[in-house]
Structure formats: structure tokens, C-alpha cells
A and B are shown apart, each in its own frame.
Chain A
Amino acid sequence: MSVGAVAGEVVLAARDVSRSFGRSWAVRHVTLELTSASLTALVGDNGAGKSTLLHMFAGLVRPVEGCVEVFGETFVGFLPSDIRCRMGFVGHAPFVYPDLTGNENLRFFGKLYGVARSIEEDRALLTRVGLADAGEKLVRTYSRGMTQRLALARMLLQDPDIWLLDEPSTGLDAQGIKLLQVLLAEARARGRCVVAVTHDMAALGGVDREVRLRAGRLVQ
């Protein structure tokens, strides 16, 4: 169980959030509560506002109306450092460096997050995500699926309380999708609040809740 979170407790919420880009609304008046020890899928057509909502949860996109609530605190826009530390984000882009090896990427992000880790621990983490033999290779030489596995490892080393995932199965092969399902099930069992934007519900391996967006509005 995460620090300070009780199973079923609301740890993340959107309160009447809206966001427009130019004249078009990406998200309109969305109110949504997400609890610890749960896996929620954000689904909807392309352009429905799923990724924008996820970015608002992460504080990367500022709502023009409404606010985001994280661990009971209210925010509009960028989140403070102590809250960011408790959130993990795997976006469309994997947030890694192609000119570093897999090991170097993990070491860098570990230092950045102040997570003291041994080389053996990094190696074990890479083995966990199926990159045991690729740790010393430059990420530039990785396939899309391997890079996605590394992105998951980058988030795992942070051991966040809230997981925000944007199409986490992108590029993953059958084994990678199995791995993703195991990771999500473990996260939920350990009390993490997981939110995943997806077009492939099966890849998540069963969710507690499905939230559908259409044209920026919550429909389900």
C-alpha cells in the first residue's frame, strides 16, 4: 500500500476541468474521481480529450477552468515537486535519451528522482522488463517496443503512487503486453492508482473502471 493512501480513497480527481486549444475544446467540464488500488481506463475516439485529461492530471497542461486534486490538495497547472515525485508518467514519447544506454538512462533518472540504486538493482529492473541483454546498448538501437519497456522501467524505479499511462502498450509484442498486464495487476494490488489511456482494453488485462470521453466530455 502506498504511503498515506487507503484502498478506495480518492487520490486523484478532476473537478470540472476544461481545456481549449485555440477555438476548439479538448476537454469540457470533466469531473472524475480516481481511487487508490484501482485501474481506470480512459477510452474514446481520437481527439476525444483522453491524453489532454491525462496531461492535466500530471500538471503538464493547465486547465482553463476547474482544477485537479491530488492527495486531497487542489492545483491548477504545474504540480509541486513533492507531488510530482509521487506520480509516474509514461507518455506517447518514452522520455528517455537515445544516446545513452538503457542502464545509463535508468541511472540518470534514478539520480534525478533521488532514488539510490545499485547497478545490480538496475540490472534486475531491466531483466524484469525483458531488457536483460540490452542494458549496455544505446537506446538509439532499440526497437519501439524495447524503448517502451525502458519507459516502463524508468517509471518503475520511481515507484510512484499514481501511474499515468498514455497508450502503454504502444509497440509492445505479446510478451510485452503480458508484462504490462502483470505490472498493472501488481500496481493495483500494492494500492497504486493507475490511469491508462488506451484504444486496446485487452492490453490492460482487465480494469476496475472504464471512463469514456467523447468530444472532450465524459459520457460514461
Chain B
Amino acid sequence: MPSAIATTARAALHILAKDLTVELRTREVFLTMSLFGVLIVVIFAFAFNLDPQSLRAVAPGLLWVTVVFAGNLGVARVMDKERELGAFQGLMLAPGGPAALFWGKAVGVFLFMLAMELLVVPLALLFVSIELPLAGIGMLVLGLTLGTLGFALIGTLFGAMLADVRMREVLIPVVVYPVIVPVLVAGVKLTAHAFDPALGEPEGFLPLMIGFDLLYLALAPWVFARTMVA
């Protein structure tokens, strides 16, 4: 008899594999997020006509606004796919239950967002003419990965909870953004340090981001299981 954790892990992997198969076939989530992300970047690039110093100051915020706005669309699309023919309930009834559903979806959102960032972030740097020093690449990648993880966890939690609610496209960001503010602030600071290593070490922002990610990792699946079951 497989343990509950093994059953959940296996079911989560099957859900993730199914989402990847569907995404490779339709590219719907990636294209939606990427097109929106590129659009925001282009609009910002035309809207701001700043000197390099000012640009460096606003670029981290610009980058993160792009990531979370596009990520929000991704979360909504991922959940819509489960709602389309009621498969969401089917997954709830399956052996892995809500825990497998949460982990399968959260990892999927995380991977889809990373794929989008691989396209949108270099374009953003190009459009707003920001130079990324070699020494800052590691910090940028680390900040984006950790920030995306936090967003994916909280986005999946509320995306699923609000999946059947009217005006969910509006409600998801309204509830997600306030919860991820600490991660967002830390992400912006880490990105600023990545763009300008002269700023020195980002001090407490990396532990802040890791701490909140760990908090989300512990709380989000727990809250998800309880609310979905209720």
C-alpha cells in the first residue's frame, strides 16, 4: 500500500505532466503571458524617456510589474483549463486529492512563468536599454526564481479558490498582490542590486524573500486543502 505522500507526489506529477502536454500542444498559457508581458514592456519603453540613471532606478519595478501582471494571466488560464469540462472536481475526487492538485498546478504555474520570463526579461532589458553587469546575472536569476516561486504558490492558492467565482480575473490580483507584497519588495530590491552592483549587498532582502517563500510553501498547500475540502 503506497503511503499518502507517495500517492500525492505521484498524482501531482501526473497532473503536471498532463498540463505540460496540453501546454506544448496549445502554448496558450505561455503565449498569453508572453504577449502581455512584451506589450507591457513596449508600452513602458515608449512611455518613459529617462536618462540612464533614472532608468536604472525604475527598471526593477518595471520588470516586476511585468512579471506579476503576466503571471496573473497565466494563473487564470491554468485554472480555466481545469474548469472547462469540470475536470477540477474530477481531480478533487482522485486519490491524490486537493494536495496533489495544488502541487501539480503550482509547479506548472512556476515553470510556465519561468519560461515567460526567459523571453520577456531579456526583451525588457533590451527595450529600456538597461545594462546588466555580468556580476548581477546571478542575483537577477535568483531573485526572479524565488519571487516567481512565491507568486506561483499564492497565485495557485487563490486562483483555485476563486476558480468558480464571477469576476475572478479581477478578484485574483486583488487578493494575490497584497499577500505577495513582501516578495515583490524583496524582488525589486534584489533586481536593483543586480542592475547596479555598486549598491553593495542587498542585506536582508534575500533572507526576507526566502523566509516568505518558506512561509508560503508551508501555508499555501495547507490552506488550499482546507478551503477546497470545505
Contact = CB atoms under 8 A, between A and B. Distances in A.
A78 B55 CA distance: 53
B86 to A, nearest CB: 2
Given A96-B85, A108-B18, A147-B85, A87 B26 contact: no
A99 B26 contact: yes
B93 A60 contact: yes
A166 to B, nearest CB: 10
A112 B11 contact: yes
A118 interface: no
Contacts of B230: 62, 77
A67 to B, nearest CB: 15
Interface in B18-41: 18, 21-22, 25-26
Contact of A81 (B4, B14, B89): B4
A71 interface: no
A47 interface: no
Interface in A77-94: 77-78, 81, 84-85, 87, 89, 91-94
B84 A98 contact: yes
B145 interface: no
B95 A77 contact: no
Interface string B142-165: 000000000000000000000000
Interface of A: 58-60, 62, 77-78, 81, 84-85, 87, 89, 91-100, 104, 108-109, 111-114, 139, 147, 154
13 contacts: A81-B95, A84-B97, A92-B86, A93-B86, A95-B90, A97-B81, A98-B85, A99-B22, A108-B14, A109-B94, A111-B14, A112-B94, A147-B85
Closest 8 CB pairs of A and B: A93-B86, A95-B90, A78-B229, A99-B22, A112-B94, A111-B14, A81-B95, A108-B18
